[in-house]
Amino acid sequence: MPRWKELPASLDQRVRQLLVRLRRLKDRSGLSLAALAAKTSYSRSSWERYLNGRQLPPREAVEELARACGTDPTRLLVLHELAADAWSGEPAVADPQEDDSDLYVRDGRRPVIWALTAAVVVLAAALVATLLATRPWQDEAKPAPAAGDTPAPFVFVEGRERACAVKRVGGELRAGYSTTHDKLMDLKSSGWEVLEAQCLLKYHGFDPGIADGSYGERSKRAAKDFQKSRRLVVDGVIGPDTWGELRR
């Protein structure tokens, strides 16, 4: 297995820690980028960008990599939370001619790399321990204001999942984010209503992916599967008929 190419010097240390862990996990699995793409929802070129530090991998990608490599994603997701806060949103320019071998270096500096990796692992373990003790993510798990309160403005944060606590209220299912029965939603929709629908889809056993309030391809596939199971029009657009079934 060739050694990895150095990450961009401009990367924040928290992002660097995450990528080092992801690289090590991939190396230990023996998977090539093509094999990793075949086992996940992300293409080979996407993994090249993520593992080279040109783009922060989504939370869902981190989960899928961990599962493809046969490990629990919990610690990686904690590191991803830190990396997401530190990410500048300005990845380096990609080289369109880069192939799998461009991800690695062959300069013989293995002892230095090992020493740096060991230091990163120790620091990451300390950060994980601190996070598990303080649990700063608990505030993120709080649902939107209940019906009758003034709703907080919805802010989409890629890769940040919100809690789904579905319960029956007044004879219908609610997740606590919206009480709508007729809001139309399709690809690129976002907001509390999308988050409500994602939670209800999960409750009924149809996985929309990460519950982040953004209606993407995976949410639409889950909606189509749900519509088909309820003998509705299968278009992936959530409207009054689909809402009615989601809340039953």
Do 85 and 191 reside in the same domain of the chain?
Answer: no
Q: Between these two residues, 34 and 133, which has the higher pLDDT value? A: 34
Q: In the predicted model, is pLDDT for residue 19 greater than 50? A: yes
**Which two three-digit tokens encode residue 30?**
């023996």
**Structural domain contains residue 147:** no
- Residue with tokens 């989504």, as numbered in its chain: 58
Q: Which domain holds residue 240?
A: 167-246
Residue 100 placed within a domain? yes
190 plus 240 within the same structural domain: yes
Does the structure show a pLDDT above 70 at 97?
no
Co-location of 53 and 108 in the same domain: yes
Q: pTM here?
A: 0.43
Query: What percentage of the chain reaches a pLDDT higher than 90?
Result: 62
**Is 95 in the same domain as 212?**
no
CATH of the domain at 107: 1.10.260.40
- What's the pLDDT at 98? 43
Is 155 inside any structural domain? no
Number of domains in the chain: 2
The answer on 201 and 127 residing in a single domain is no
Structure tokens at 149: 């309160």
Give strand pairing partners of 4.
104
Q: Do residues 86 and 37 both lie within one domain? A: yes
Tell me, yes or no, whether 185 and 240 share the same domain.
Answer: yes
Are residues 127 and 28 part of one domain? yes
The position carrying tokens 């982040």 is: 212
User: Are residues 100 and 179 located together in one domain of the fold?
Assistant: no
CB within 8 Å of 238: residues ≥ 6 apart: 183, 184, 185, 186, 197, 215, 223, 246
Residues 12 and 75 in one domain: yes
pLDDT digits (tens, 9 = 90+) for 167-197: 999 999 999 999 999 999 999 899 999 999 9
| 152 in a structural domain | no
Asked if 22 and 126 sit in the same domain, the reply is yes
7 lies in the same domain as 94: yes
